[in-house]
Structure 1
């Protein structure tokens, strides 16, 4: 069965995995990035989640609301708790980020979770109709996406506070 699952996996999934691993390794090193570059990975992960939600549950459903509200709440809480030295604004659009393996761990957790979810729903399609399964899945991926977006949220908070300081 495992061989069948792996052989039926589209090639783009393996390309995505390689991209995520490469980006995760980059994130493990201290680096300077623009806001635009900082947004790429969270937007990719957001796209994966929204695509999965639309495919399995539809976009006009309570799982999307549950996922979205969980993502926003988690992102806000984590952004508030981030240590100031993890991210420093060095110019209008440039930030110095402390290297961390957390983004790679998050990406792999989301990737493996989405892969497992797709396999489970392919084998047992009725799972998409079970509210408990759908709620747990929506909450789980909402928390993961929220943690991912916390860094972006923190950058936006830094950029807003810098504008307030410049005005004063």
Structure 2
């Protein structure tokens, strides 16, 4: 680990990191600590200021240029500003349920997911944590770089065009699941089913070896168990016409973004640092993690429909059709 890449970075990058790091710590304390106290409100104001500073400073960081001086990463900056507004607006309205959802979305999305992208090969934080390979971007082809701006540019520009509309669609889909809604059971299960098919496709096509299959099985089992456990005390509300009342939640958004991040990172590492993917446990991690996340979503959807083998209690409500 070395701070030299950060110390040699532009002022905008330094300011961005100085805002993000304490924001991550403060938000963790806010989420775990007691809510509604004067200390909570004061720390929350500091956190809001840091998040605004982090988002605004990111618009002056142009390490990756895809659309003029901007890149898809700047889309996350825009979403961060929207999220900050949602946090403040919900707090002022004393809508504490949506307030907490917005805070969690910012923490895991803007800090967690976006922070994860900052550790991709070629990014400054990758060099800070893992060190530099010592290679010059000008003398080494991007596909062989482990670090350096050229690798970061290569990762983004070499990605298929459909990747970025897919990311936007996943974000929109995740946000739509943050509100209460009434759905037919088949629609509730559609997205988890599609995700599971996509995750398990290598098994169906024979494109996975024994270690990958073991990692996939572990991710599947742990994901189902975790998903059912998180819904252990939830009450399934079934309506007439085989419909179900689904409460808004932020886990779907976080899971979708995390699946995208793992898949994108796996492709990026395979392109710029293929030797890393061959290390023990690395490939298995990138196989198991998306399956785990998809399985969590599938288990939670089953529990919302009333099928949870780990549920402490269950309730089936049949309401009038007009409800």
Normalization by structure 1: what TM-score?
0.77
* Equivalent residues, number: 157
Alignment partners' CA distance in 1, 2:270 and 2:260? 15
Unaligned runs of 5+ in 1: 164-168
Aligned counterpart for 2:234 among listed residues 59, 79, 84: 84
Kept after mapping to 2: 8 A contact 1:76/1:153: no
Whether 1:139 and 2:258 are equivalent positions in the alignment is no
**Do the aligned partners of residues 50 and 100 (structure 1) sit closer, same or farther apart at CA in structure 2, a change above 3 Å counting?**
same
Q: Which runs of 4+ in 1 moved over 4 A?
A: none
Aligned counterpart for 1:7 among listed residues 157, 182, 187: 157
Structure with higher Rg: it is 2
Correspondence for 2:84: none
Farther off after superposition, 42-51 or 141-150: 42-51
Point out which structure has higher relative CO (alpha carbons under 8 A, 6+ apart).
Answer: 1
Correspondence for 2:247: 98
Deviation string 1:80-109 (CA, Å, 9 cap, x unpaired) is 441323x42113521111101111011111
SS of 1:11's equivalent? Answer: coil
Question: How large is the Cα RMSD of the aligned pairs?
Answer: 2.7
Deviation string 1:26-56 (CA, Å, 9 cap, x unpaired) is 10000011222122322343344345x57xx
1:1-168 equivalences under 5 Å are 1=150, 2-50=152-200, 58-82=207-231, 83-85=233-235, 87-154=236-303, 155=305, 157=307
**Do the aligned partners of residues 16 and 75 (structure 1) sit closer, same or farther apart at CA in structure 2, a change above 3 Å counting?**
same
Correspondence for 2:108: none
**Do the aligned partners of residues 72 and 98 (structure 1) sit closer, same or farther apart at CA in structure 2, a change above 3 Å counting?**
same
Unaligned runs of 5+ in 2: 1-149, 309-313, 317-323
Deviation string 1:86-138 (CA, Å, 9 cap, x unpaired) is x4211352111110111101111111111011100112233443332123223
